[in-house]
């Protein structure tokens, strides 16, 4: 006789529910590092910490975290450089922390391949919400929900599972957000989207970068998918409205 016939959640669900992901926190301010580590552990994450950029790179290689919370100003190797080096060979989600506030700095942060950018000072609850959101967005999705593994548009082929893009059979190097933006466009050809709609759909929640973030990523993407980025025919600007992807 079954003792318990309640449906049991799968291992993957248990992991998401208990937040058992591993987070690497890199911050040289001792008090903040302690607070971040303490709060993340309280949420159920496994936490590894580093207070120098060079140590962070070593730890990332050794412990293979699921997400990195990364301060910009660090001794050893600075956060921007750490981000660039991590991005060179992984798609690991990265949230950057910084005291710098100007848009130029935000764009520089995104240019290094960070997925999110949280200016200091920030509330711990907000940071935890962003960690959760980013892990949710980057977690492998249910196949049926996500659609076919390979999506095609003209000479562009996107392999969603391997996160690879080819044009005319040649592999393109895309940053994680460029990849998601292209996938979004290819799945919605012939429709005009405002920058705000694109932010909602691709970035998924209130993002500090603002609508210009979309313009920056569209510009980068055009460099890679347009024959002539100066005269784009795929991702066209609709003046006063936003962007449209011509299939």
Q: Tokens 């210009």 belong to which residue?
A: 212
Output the smallest distance, CB 120 to Ca ion, in A: 9
| Smaller CB separation from Ca ion, 71 or 178 | 71
175 φ/ψ angles, rounded to the nearest 5 degrees: -70, 160
Contact segment (CB under 5 A) with Ca ion among 45-53, 64-72, 86-94, 192-200 equals 64-72
Nearer to Ca ion (CB atom), residue 28 or residue 201? 28
Residue 166 CB, nearest approach to Ca ion (Å): 40
Q: Do the beta carbons of residue 47 and residue 58 sit within 8 Å? A: no
**CA-CA distance, 147 to 58, in Å (whole number)?**
36
Q: Supply the minimum distance, in Å, between the C-beta of residue 71 and Ca ion.
A: 4
Per DSSP bridges, beta strands 116-119 and 150-153 are unpaired
If the CB atoms of residues 28 and 215 are measured against Ca ion, the closer one turns out to be: 28
The reply on whether position 178 binds Ca ion by CB under 5 A is: no
Spatial CA neighbour of 61 closest among 48, 73, 74, 76: 48
Ordered DSSP codes for 87-152: HHH----EEEEES--SHHHHHHHHHTT-SEEEESS--HHHHHHHHHHHHHHHSPPPHHHH--SEEE
Q: In the complex, which residue's CB is closest to Ca ion? A: 73
Q: Is the Cβ of residue 71 or residue 180 nearer to Ca ion in the bound state?
A: 71
Minimum CB separation of residue 32 from Ca ion in Å reads 8
Q: Applying CB under 5 A, which part among 13-21, 27-35, 52-60, 131-139 lies near Ca ion? A: 27-35
Q: Which of residues 66-85 bind Ca ion (CB under 5 A)?
A: 71, 73
* Sign of the C-alpha dihedral computed for residues 167, 142, 115 and 56 taken in this order: negative
Nearer to Ca ion, 31 or 170 (CB): 31
Residue 164 binds to Ca ion (criterion: CB under 5 A): no
Question: Pick from 16, 19, 22, 28: which binds Ca ion (CB under 5 A)?
Answer: 28
Contact range with Ca ion by CB under 5 A, out of 23-31, 51-59, 169-177, 215-223: 23-31
Q: Residue 232 has which token pair?
A: 């784009």
Judge contact between 189 and 246, C-beta under 8 A.
yes
Q: How many CA atoms lie within 13 A of 14 on its CB side?
A: 5
The nearer residue to Ca ion, 29 or 200, going by C-beta atoms, is: 29
Residue (73 or 91) nearer to Ca ion, CB: 73
Give Cα separations from 227 to 20, 167, 168, 230, 238 (angstroms).
44, 10, 11, 9, 19
Rule CB under 5 A: which residues touch Ca ion?
A: 28, 71, 73
């Amino acid at each position: 006789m079954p003792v318990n016939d309640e449906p049991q959640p799968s291992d993957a669900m248990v992991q998401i529910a208990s937040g058992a992901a591993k987070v690497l926190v890199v911050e040289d301010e001792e008090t903040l590092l302690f607070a971040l580590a303490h709060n993340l552990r309280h949420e159920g994450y496994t936490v590894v910490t580093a207070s120098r950029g060079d140590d962070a790179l070593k730890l990332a290689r050794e412990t293979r975290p699921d997400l990195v919370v990364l301060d910009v100003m660090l001794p050893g190797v600075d956060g921007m450089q750490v981000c660039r080096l991590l991005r060179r060979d992984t798609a690991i989600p990265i949230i950057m922390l910084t005291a710098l506030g100007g848009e130029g700095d935000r764009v520089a942060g995104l240019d290094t391949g960070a997925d999110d950018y949280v200016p200091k000072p920030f509330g711990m609850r907000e940071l935890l919400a962003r960690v959760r959101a980013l892990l949710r967005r980057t977690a492998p999705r249910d196949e049926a929900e996500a659609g076919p593994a390979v999506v095609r548009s003209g000479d562009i082929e996107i392999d969603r599972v391997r996160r690879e893009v080819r044009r005319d059979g040649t592999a393109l190097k895309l940053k994680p957000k460029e990849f998601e933006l292209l996938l979004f466009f290819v799945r919605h050809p012939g429709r005009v989207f405002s920058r705000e709609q694109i932010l909602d759909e691709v970035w998924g929640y209130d993002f500090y970068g603002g609508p210009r973030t979309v313009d920056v990523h569209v510009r980068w993407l055009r460099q890679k998918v347009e024959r002539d980025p100066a005269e784009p025919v795929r991702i066209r600007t609709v003046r006063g409205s936003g962007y449209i992807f011509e299939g």
